[in-house]
Amino acid sequence: MLKAYKYRLYPNKEQEEKFLQHIGAGRFIYNWALENKIKSYETEGKSVSRFTLNKMITELKVEHEWLKNINSQSLQGATLNLDNAFTKFFREKTGFPKFKSKKNPVQSFSVPQFYKVDFDNDKIKLPKIGWVKTKLHRRFEGKGKTATVSKTSTGKYYISILVDNEKEIPEKQSFDGNTTIGVDVGIKDFAIISNGEKINNPKNLKNSMKRLKVLHKRLSRKQKGSKSRQKAKLSLSKLHEKVSNQRNDFQHKLSSKLISENQAIALETLNVEGMMKNHSLAQHIADASWSSFMEKLEYKAEWYGKTILRIGQFAPSTKICNACGYYNKDITLADRKWGCPECKIEHDRDINAAINIKKFALDRQNLIGI
């Protein structure tokens, strides 16, 4: 089973310079390879393979001698990343691979092998760079695969190590109505559980919006290319990073809690991209980041042998009475509570939806991908 471990790096000035050289070289090779693929397709009607490009890198080093100071496997890692981008483009119909820019908020390079991790002395050895001081806050056991060194927009360096712990993915544990919960996500409350529990939405972005506006205003007043503009940009990036960290921390804690306490979790499939077109709600939906939360639930469920059940996005979970099945076609987004005219039960809109998500999911014919 593969797991990724992320650690903070603390390079000295010389090592930081080498990091930047590796990042620049990776970006250069990626753009060079993309250009070659495009030209080859336009002239010959077929694309250049990654293996051909890797052979061409040797010739490229004669023309650009500075590439000789870069770990050769990191350069080949750039062509692998390009191959993966094309695979994703053809399989998932995502956007065509774009040329990389210096202005991207996160810059990175890969280290496929030959790195060493010293947990006792808190340092990692990287090819062509040497031993780098690292905050190794947790140990891992298993075979280290590709490591990725990244630089954030705030100037921090991290290394993410993919580890094969040589364990099999656990078998799915059995579940029933008593060990399954339905989860409905929202804006006022981040998550509503079918047992009646409501998880408050921290609204990290909204709470920082006033400060963000001040920092944006300061940045807009600075002269382009000046040191004061760089400082203002850094302050803005730090606040965005803080908001992102707060959101991830909240989602990791909640997802771990739900996975550990239940055998199965029922979720509704959401068209987040379509919902974002509602300009009144777009910022709130982006702040909640439901897709990220559901991804965390899915991979943690796989780790621990739990089950994620997904119902279709058109299932009327909000409009159906969970007690008698009455369909309320007149309910609107503004209706937070409604009474069933058939069985006379008063419903909390969100709790009713969460109960229905659970009921629909336990009915096998309603599940996605089953």
Residue 194 CA: distances (Å) to CA of 74, 278, 311, 340: 48, 27, 15, 18
Residues 6+ apart with CB under 8 A from 207: none
Domain boundaries, the chain: 2-164, 180-366
Residues with catalytic annotation? 184, 268, 350
Pair 139, 5: CB distance under 8 Å: no
What's the CA gap between 328 and 312, in Å, rounded? 19
pLDDT at 366: 52
Residue 341 CA: distances (Å) to CA of 325, 333, 336: 11, 19, 16
Among 180, 171, 186, 172, residue whose Cα is nearest residue 363: 180
pLDDT at 312: 85
DSSP sequence for 101-154: -TT-S-EEEEE-S--EEETTTTEEEETTTEEEEEE--S---SEEEEEEEEE-TT
Among 307, 341, 300, residue whose Cα is nearest residue 321: 341
Q: Torsion angle of alpha carbons 9, 10, 15, 21, nearest 10°?
A: 50
pLDDT at 166: 86
pLDDT at 368: 56
Indicate the pTM of the whole model: 0.87
In 3-state terms, what secondary structure has residue 161?
strand
User: Hey, which residues does 37 pair with through a beta bridge?
Assistant: none
Q: What are residue 264's phi and psi, to 5 degrees? A: -145, 145
User: Tens-digit pLDDT profile for the chain (370 aa)?
Assistant: 899 999 999 999 999 999 999 999 999 999 999 999 999 988 888 888 999 999 999 999 999 999 999 999 999 999 999 999 998 888 877 789 999 998 888 899 999 999 999 999 999 999 999 999 999 999 999 999 999 999 999 999 999 999 998 888 899 999 999 999 999 999 999 999 999 999 999 999 999 999 999 999 999 999 998 999 999 999 999 999 999 999 999 999 999 999 999 999 999 988 888 888 888 889 999 999 999 999 999 999 999 999 999 998 888 888 899 888 888 888 887 788 888 988 888 898 899 999 999 999 988 655 554 4
pLDDT at 370: 43
pLDDT at 364: 62
